[in-house]
Amino acid sequence: MNKKYIVRLDSEEHHRLEAMVKKGRGQAYKIKHANILLAIDTDGPNWTDKQVAEAFRCHLNTVANVRQRFVEYGLEGALERKEQESPSRKRILDGEKEARLITIACSKAPSGRAKWTLEMLADELVALQVVESVSEQTVWRTLKKTKLSRT
């Protein structure tokens, strides 16, 4: 099988990876990626992806991805995990909705109440059609993030 991405480590990269593996300190995935790079080095052992996957107990795709990221992004890109392009879940309260929440929380509490509760704030956001639904925990996290004191 012809490999699309060929890994060639220069001496500085090789020594850095060797030191990282030898120390054994750092995040486990970085050490594993360093081991993978050392094993697939064309000027070194030049193991196949299958041999590397079996030796380091990882998936073939992991080896292929590390190989590809090394060629495309360099050593740092191969050692780090791939960053998410977009979050897994969209935020319920974005900047504009967050501002509305803060405005409501800072306003005078409804009659018969001394202050807003999280449940009342969540219900008010739904009543004003700012959001379809929102939990009290989301309201609490948003207020905590903005360091807004409700007292």
Centre a 10 Å sphere on the Cβ of residue 91 and count the other Cβ atoms it contains. Answer: 11
Query: For the chain, what is the domain count?
Result: 2
Residue 1 lies in a domain: no
Provide the whole-model pTM. 0.61
How much is the pLDDT for 146? 80
Q: Is the pLDDT of residue 55 over 90?
A: yes
**In contact, 56 and 32? CB cutoff 8 Å:** yes
pLDDT at 4 over 80: yes
pLDDT at 1 over 60: no
Residue 144 CB coordination number (10 Å)? 10
Q: Where is the domain boundary, 49, 79, 109?
A: 79
Looking at residue 87, what is its pLDDT? 80
Task: Flag whether 2 is in a domain.
Answer: no
Amino acid 21: pLDDT: 94
Last residue of a domain, one of 51, 79, 107: 79
Query: 90 in a domain, yes or no?
Result: no
Query: Are 54 and 99 within one domain?
Result: no
Q: Note whether 71 and 21 are same-domain residues.
A: yes
Angle at CA 136, nearest 5°, toward 135 and 141? 100
Enter the tokens of residue 37: 């790079």
State the residue range of the domain holding 60: 11-79
Instruction: Check whether residue 27 and residue 72 sit in a common domain.
Output: yes
What are 116-149's pLDDT values in tens digits? 999 999 999 999 999 999 999 999 999 998 876 6
Statement to judge: residues 45 and 21 lie in one domain: yes
Question: Residue 35: its pLDDT value, please?
Answer: 95
Q: Please write the tens of the pLDDT for every residue from 72-128.
A: 999 999 999 888 888 888 889 988 999 999 999 999 999 899 999 999 999 999 999
